Structure 1
Amino acid sequence: MSDKKLYEQKIQAEFDTCKAQVDKFKAEASGASANAQIEMHKQIKQLEEKMSEGKTKLQELADASEEKFDEMKKGVESIWQSTKSTLHHASKHFGK
């Protein structure tokens, strides 16, 4: 399997893990007070936006040629780092 395919699978797995955490946050938010729900939903929305950006970049990477892989990989890494940072920040609001 090519490095590109392995990398795509790795990042996809990381985004899947992040999505599972967002789903968990959504479940927690439904049981929170109204004020807490507002902040939780704000954090969830930010995460979903970052994940959407990441999915777009990952799809661009998948569609790119092997020659463009290294160039495209930097963009995916940047989005993934931003998504992880947003997830970490949201986790603080969810008490995790």
Structure 2
Amino acid sequence: MSDKELYQQKIQAEFDASKAQIDKFKAEASGASADAQIEMHKQIKQLEEKMDEGKSKLAELVDASEEKFEEMKKGVESIWQSTKSTLHHASKHFGK
């Protein structure tokens, strides 16, 4: 397996774990007070936007040649770091 394929698997696993966390947040938000739901839904929306951006970059990476892979890897890393940061920030609002 190439470095590119291994990296894609790693990022996909991170994406899947983040998606599962967002799903937990959604379930928690449904049981919260109205005011709390508003804030929680804002956080969830932010996370989903980051996830969409990450999915887009991952798709670009999948389509990239081996030569372009190293160049694109930095951009993907940047987006995933931002996504993780947003997820961590949201976790504080959700009490996790």
**TM-score w.r.t. structure 1 length?**
0.99
**Could you list the per-position Cα deviations for residues 12-32 of structure 1 after superposition, in whole angstroms to 9, with x for gaps in the alignment?**
000000000000000000000
Q: State the one-letter code of the partner of 2:52.
A: S
The match for 1:68 is 68
Structure 1 position 35, deviation (Å): 0.1
- Structure 1: gaps (5+ residues): none
Q: Distance in 2 between matches of 1:69 and 1:26?
A: 34
Aligned to 2:84: 84
Matched, 1:57 2:57: yes
**What is the root-mean-square deviation of aligned Cα atoms in Å?**
0.3
1:21-40 correspondence to structure 2 within 5 Å: 21-40=21-40
Letter in 1 for 2:44: I
After TM superposition, give the deviation of residue 91 of structure 1 in Å: 0.2
AA in 2 matched with 1:87: L
| Poorly superposed stretches of 4+, deviation over 6 Å | none
Distance in structure 1 (CA, Å) of the matches to 2:52 and 2:75 = 14
1:20 is aligned to 20
1:30-63 residue CA offsets vs partner (Å, 9 max, x unmatched): 0000000000000000000000000000000000
Q: How many residues align?
A: 96
* TM-score between the two structures when normalised by the length of structure 2: 0.99
Aligned identity (percent) is: 89
